[in-house]
Amino acid sequence: MKLALTVFLLSALCPRTSGEEAQTAADQLLVLTVATKETDGFRRFMRTAKHFNYTVKVLGQDEEWMGGDYMSSPGGGQKVRLLKAALDEMKDDNRIILFVDSYDVVFASSPKELLKKFQQAGHKVVFSSESLIWPDRHLEDKYPHVKEGNRFLGSGGFIGLVANVREMVSSWTGEDGDSDQLFFTNIYINPEMRKSLNITVDSKCRLFQNLHGSLDEVVLKFEDGHVRARNLLYDTLPVVIHGNGPTKLQLNYLANYIPNTWSFESGCTECHEDLRPLSDVQESEYPLVWIGVFIQQPTPFVTVFFERLLKLQYPKERLKLFIYNKEVHHEPAVASFLQDHGGLYKEVKLTGPESQLDEASSRNLGFDTCRKDPDCEYFFNLDIEVVLKNENTIKTLIEQNLPIVAPLITRTGRLWSNFWGALSPEGFYARSEDYVDIVQGRRVSVWNVPYVSSVYLMKAHLLRSELLDPELFSSNTLDPDMAFCHNVRSKGVFMFVTNMHSFGRILSTENYVTGHLHNDLWQIFENPQDWEDRYIHENYTSIVKDKLVETPCPDVYWFPVFSEVACNHLVEEMENFGKWSGGGNMDNRIQGGYENVPTIDIHMNQINYEKEWQQFLLEYIAPLTEKMYPGYYTKAQFDLAFVVRYKPDEQPFLRPHHDASTFTINIALNERGTDYEGGGCRFLRYDCSVKSPRKGWALMHPGRLTHYHEGLPTTAGVRYIAVSFVDP
């Protein structure tokens, strides 16, 4: 583990007369930060320092970290060595030093407030305090008692005069891997040294807030456009927030708001900083991106997925495709896409079911493909269940210039998304306080989160540095996505999710049955929005507004409802089923076994589609019925819903009849002049005919009594219609 420290050198505050020109606290401050490596946490720390106008000088750059790993054992002696060396070069003993970790620290306020609170403490050295003793519990009885607050010393942050701090560390002779916390603890619990150096602890967290052991005490305080961390137990507003020990993720959460990163008044204040704009870059110079497409389970709307992939607004010559397909069921769709469009991309690699790779291995292989390609600048993970509606997603994510960033997608009508706002102590999902607001768009920003999945963009250099492990997705206890995010977090790499744009949604793959020819037809319940996008006519939502409903005959309404794909799929599904009725009067499929006016047809219940068909009628027909026939309300009940086939040599027409319904829906499933000749419907009472029914358009008319009608002869080809006798 690498570690960064910060040393703030502050001029001692001297009394001034009201007429003196007062120097600002920022001018008095010199920040010395010890950083052996520039991590995401360190960069965040520096941004907060810059926000409050701290001046920073870095020590220990490129020095190997030998101070151990705090998460597994005590360490940090290297910090004391570097501090001691820095103090030996300082001449002004009356300056003030603030010494804090930086990888897991943010500032919540200014140097001025920090210095004021240090003065009010009335001591020459003030350490941060903790509610938990570490690393030696046997020393608890030797700790001095405090009137109120935390007793125990935390070495991750302290402030004091140069002379006192220099004397405090002068006795250090330890190794880099020795415990800095134990070193300072032994000084503090020694009464003579504590008095001589004039040391105390910030027991009420006025200057420092260590989060470990105190998470329930700390909340965000929003006030007048400013955001602070508030300690509820002591009603204080600490200046330095330290995510010590296992509280790094809680610090990440707080730092999504502090200092003024996001507020209710101004929203996100940093989302447009440090961007990588592509607007001034020639498309031939765009970063090269490997898109990893992963098909891990049977998934609806795969053909549509590839249509959207093709529409992404990013030059194809700067894209390479890695496709892993585990499902034999989806091989035709993948093969069709690559045959028609694979040549547009700079390179394509396909790994199919024959490889028998598990999910972790397939994802590791995808990452390794980018890792080994020296031209790869980004890896864009895109799972097959992602519905990416925003065609500029790749460009938008690249411009954010973040290590790993995911576009927020959700499941329609649910709070399920592709990120977690928090983790449980066991490392599984937990809901953060702001999760619902982020998912529902009430808080818009770029959020540091502990887990992303399904779709995200990663900088490729991470795969060649911090994330060099070729088994990032492999684990004996965690699923692949959780293992990946765990490994990313353990390397100090930040993950983000952005909801600054609308990106799309994620499909439900539960209950997806693959036993039909066109399985997507059955998705009206599981994925209603995707079903609508695929199967409902593009002009359906404009029917009433744009007056697309026509009235070719009295009380007969004609309007678009099905897309061309819906018509084709329904016809092909029926022909694939193939069990057309014989057109005789005896029909054991219906109650009573006798049909007065038989047709050659297949009923919806024969292909197990009656529930889906009723849902279609409820969602897309019933609202129009209520508009066209005011005062009538339907529950879209039916006994008969079927697809009819008319052929000149089979059954070319249908004799005059009344329908056994309150109203009937008759949808044309193919095109006159292209697929057949003749056909149509004639209403005898009004001597009115619809002879050129449009594909995907529905005729809606009363059934019993008034609208006696016949099917006109089909003279060539094959005509298909979908008929529903509603409210029999």
Say which residues have a Cβ less than 8 Å from residue 179's Cβ, sequence separation at least 6.
Answer: 74, 75, 76, 77, 135
- Residue of 44, 166, 682, 719 marked catalytic: 719
DSSP letter assigned to residue 287: P
Give the number of other CB atoms < 10 A from CB of residue 281: 12
For residues 32 and 9, is the Cβ–Cβ distance under 8 A?
Answer: yes
Alpha-carbon span 647 to 575, nearest angstrom: 14
DSSP letter assigned to residue 660: S
* Token reading at 683: 């209403």
Helix (H) or strand (E) holding 610: helix 610-616
Q: How far is CA 421 from CA 54, 301, 379, 397, 404, in A?
A: 30, 29, 23, 19, 15
Half-sphere exposure of 572 (CA within 13 A, CB side): 12
Q: What is the 3-state secondary structure (H, E, C) of 549-591?
A: CEEEECCEEEEECECHHHHHHHHHHHHHHCCCCCCCCECCCCC
For residues 581 and 587, is the Cβ–Cβ distance under 8 A?
Answer: yes
Strands (E), 60-119: 96-101, 105-107
How far from chain centre, in Å, is Cα 113? Answer: 37
Alpha-carbon span 642 to 187, nearest angstrom: 88
Alpha-carbon span 553 to 569, nearest angstrom: 29
Burial 600-617, CB ≥16 within 10 A → b, else e:
bbbbbebbebeebbbebb
* Residue entry with tokens 């057109």: 583
For residues 155 and 76, is the Cβ–Cβ distance under 8 A?
Answer: yes
Q: How far is CA 93 from CA 160, 343, 478, 577, in A?
A: 10, 71, 53, 91
* Token reading at 490: 């353990």
Q: How far is CA 169 from CA 32, 180, 393, 585, in A?
A: 16, 10, 53, 103
How far from chain centre, in Å, is Cα 66? Answer: 37
Alpha-carbon span 415 to 475, nearest angstrom: 28
* Residue entry with tokens 């910060």: 6
Alpha-carbon span 684 to 688, nearest angstrom: 7
For residues 638 and 702, is the Cβ–Cβ distance under 8 A?
Answer: no
* Token reading at 442: 């009430």
Q: Quick check: bond before 623 cis, omega within 30?
A: no
β-bridge partners, 59: 34
Alpha-carbon span 689 to 708, nearest angstrom: 12
Residue 719 bears catalytic tag: yes
* Token reading at 360: 């972790």
Handedness of CA 367, 372, 373, 377 (dihedral sign): positive
Say which residues have a Cβ less than 8 Å from residue 171's Cβ, sequence separation at least 6.
Answer: none
Q: Which residues are annotated as catalytic?
A: 719
